[in-house]
Chain A
Amino acid sequence: MADKANDPVAMWQNMIGEMEKGFNSFANQAMASPEFSKAVNQVGGVTAGAQKQLGDLMEKYLVGMNLPSRAQMVSMAERLQSIEGQLNEIKAMLNAMNSNAAASAGGYAGAPKPPRTKRPPSAAGEPK
């Protein structure tokens, strides 16, 4: 196999790695200045405000077009999550209700909780 120092592929990978480090380091120095903070916060503040206004406008537009807005989609996703959560709760309740009956059939709910008697390997004389 070719020496790694002379392998073109390894050299390319090394170059990418070095470029990444160099650019990150340069950018970090630039971003540590108060001027950067001032500029980014001015832009960020304006952008956040504009995004909010645009979002409000878009919401009105989508309602007008009889289409679901982002907020409604997020709300639907949250409702789905909530339904999943409730399903989990129902599952847990069913498991609890069937715990005795399920004991013979196996399954988690039927399985007894393991005893809290475990000792550290050193105390129990086991190798770690």
Chain B
Amino acid sequence: MNASAGLNVAGLDLALIPDRIQSEVQRAIQRSIKGVEYIASSGPSLGSTPKDILAARGTMNLYHYRPVADEIYRVPILIVMATTNRGYILDMVPGQSFIEFLLKRGYDVYMLDWSAPKPEEKSLRMEDYVLDFIPDCVRRVQLDSGETDVTVIGYCFGGVLSLLYGSIFNDGPMKNLICFTTPIDFREMKLFSNFSDRRYFDVDRLVDSIGNVPPEMILSSFEMLRPASRAASQVQLWENIWNDEYVKAYRMMDRWGTDTLPLAGEYFRAITKDLMWDNKLFNGTMSVGGRAADISRIKIPILHAVAEHDHIVPYDAARHLITKVGSTDKEEVILKGGHVSVVAGANAIKRLWPKLDSWLCERSI
């Protein structure tokens, strides 16, 4: 019997207290040293997978990632990013990059990423995104790859844009569609819906007076969904600042999370009126530039990945996507994680990415 483990008060082994105190003192010292390092250093370099820019026009940037496999699948992938955030969430650092994963698995990857609209671009409309930027990128992908078929992957609002594109251009060339955490029933985004209550939220006055919607406003509306989380995450950072891996992951996510893009005024007006107020995508009455965008017209294979604990796009806002599309080859996967961690966190590496690969590889030949 271990004599030192004898005295036990309320389940706490008193003999272990000196070790625990020593460990906490060491961590406190480390916190002070690492805290200074944290303030003095910049974060890890993100989005560094080698790529070439194929086109840049307005807010649109089309990148082609350099293939790394000796042999690639026939059908290229075009990733459509959400218009509020930067695409490097899918290309954090080697080992935690969705792009790198796809390249290693033998896919040819392109990304439509967005830049901030300039003040004079406040008049960019939904039509510009759905009927111009995405079709233009698809054409360029076809030209560059020499293939007619293209698989589209849309993240969050990038998924909404991809659905709109796919429902209007339903006779091709999109071969497969993969949506990550994509809302279609905007009534179920309850807090956003309440923030933009048509009785109190004068979107016309806002857009007419300020033009583009500033990133601070978008960021604060996201942060309001979990108002205590930023403060709690700072406390957790301080506790774990001795842990280099934790700090690296924190910095990556924090930098991306606060690197929000402004939204073009007219585009924001359309989102508010058509989607938030009239829920047209869900009701099947959506149109873009006078062209009907009913997602029941989408017949291609579709995979929708949703997150169990998504506070931005709750499951109820996303769950009707699969039932509403007209495809027969369709699947929804519900994965553990939140809105971001499901696509880019440690869980994504174990869950989403392999699932996507096994679904897509059969459909990429």
A contact residues around B106 at 8 Å (CB): 118
Chain A nearest CB from B197 CB (Å) reads 4
**Interface-forming stretch among A61-69, A81-89, A98-106?**
A81-89
B residues within 8 A CB of A91?
52
In the bound complex, residues from chain B placing their C-beta under 8 Å from that of A32 are: 190-191, 194
Residues on the B chain within 8 Å of A2, using CB: 11-13, 16-17, 20
Least Cβ–Cβ distance between A101 and chain B, in angstroms: 18
A3 touches which of B11, B201, B235, B236 (Cβ 8 Å): B11
B320 CB–A CB distance under 8 Å: no
Across-interface contacts of B74 in A (CB, < 8 A)? 116-118
A45-B358 CB under 8 A given contacts A19-B232, A34-B194, A117-B71: no
Known: A108-B50, A128-B358. A37 touches B20 (CB 8 A): no
| B10–A6 touching, CB < 8 Å | yes
Which residue of A23, A81, A85 is within 8 Å of B227 (Cβ)?
Answer: A23
Query: When chains A and B are docked, how far (Å) is the Cα of A51 from the Cα of B216?
Result: 12
- Name the residue in A13, A44, A51, A91 with the highest tally of chain B Cβ atoms < 10 Å from its Cβ: A44
* A122 near B362: Cβ-Cβ < 8 Å: yes
Query: A2-43: contact bitstring with B at CB < 8 Å (1 yes, 0 no)?
Result: 110111010001001101100110011001111011101110
In the complex, A97→B239 CA distance in Å? 54
Which of B81-89, B151-159, B205-213, B330-338 forms contacts with chain A?
A: B205-213
Q: Which of B62-70, B267-275, B276-284, B340-348 contacts A (4 or more CB under 8 A)?
A: B62-70
**Are the CB atoms of B232 and A115 closer together than 8 Å?**
no
A51→B214 CA distance, assembly (Å): 11
Q: For residue B67, which residues in chain A have a CB less than 8 angstroms away from its CB?
A: 113-114
Contact residues in A for B7 (Cβ distance below 8 Å): none
A residues within 8 A CB of B70?
Answer: 114
Residues in A neighbouring B225, C-beta threshold 8 A: 28
Report yes or no: B71 in contact with A13, Cβ–Cβ below 8 A.
no
In angstroms, how far is the closest chain A Cβ from the Cβ of B348?
A: 18
Considering only residues 114-128 of chain A, those with a C-beta below 8 Å from chain B are 114-123, 128
Asked if B115 lies at the interface with its beta carbon under 8 angstroms from chain A, I say yes
C-alpha gap A120/B202 in the complex (Å): 52
A117 to B190, CA, bound (A): 47
- Cβ contacts under 8 Å, A116 to chain B: 71-74, 108, 145, 147
With the chains together, A42 CA to B200 CA distance in Å? 7
Smallest distance from the beta carbon of B119 to chain A beta carbons, Å?
7
Task: Verify A118–B228 contact, CB threshold 8 A.
Answer: no
Is the C-beta of A1 less than 8 angstroms from some C-beta in chain B?
A: yes
B108 / chain A contacts, CB cutoff of 8 Å: 116
Least CB distance, A123 to chain B, in whole angstroms: 8
B residues lining the A interface (CB < 8 Å)? 10-13, 16-17, 20, 24, 50, 52-53, 56, 61, 66-67, 69-74, 106, 108, 115-116, 118-119, 145, 147, 190-191, 194-195, 197, 199-202, 205-206, 209-210, 217, 224-229, 231-232, 235-236, 239, 358, 361-362, 364-365
A residues touching B (Cβ–Cβ < 8 Å)? 1-3, 5-7, 9, 13, 16-17, 19-20, 23-24, 27-28, 31-34, 36-38, 40-42, 44-45, 48-49, 51-52, 71, 75, 78, 81, 85, 88-89, 91-92, 95, 108, 113-123, 128
Closest 7 CB pairs of A and B: A23-B228, A20-B232, A120-B361, A41-B200, A37-B197, A116-B74, A6-B12
A-B contact list, 25 entries, CB within 8 Å:
A2-B16, A6-B10, A6-B12, A9-B24, A13-B236, A27-B228, A33-B194, A34-B194, A37-B195, A37-B200, A38-B197, A41-B197, A41-B201, A45-B205, A48-B209, A52-B209, A71-B119, A78-B116, A85-B61, A91-B52, A114-B67, A118-B69, A118-B71, A123-B365, A128-B358
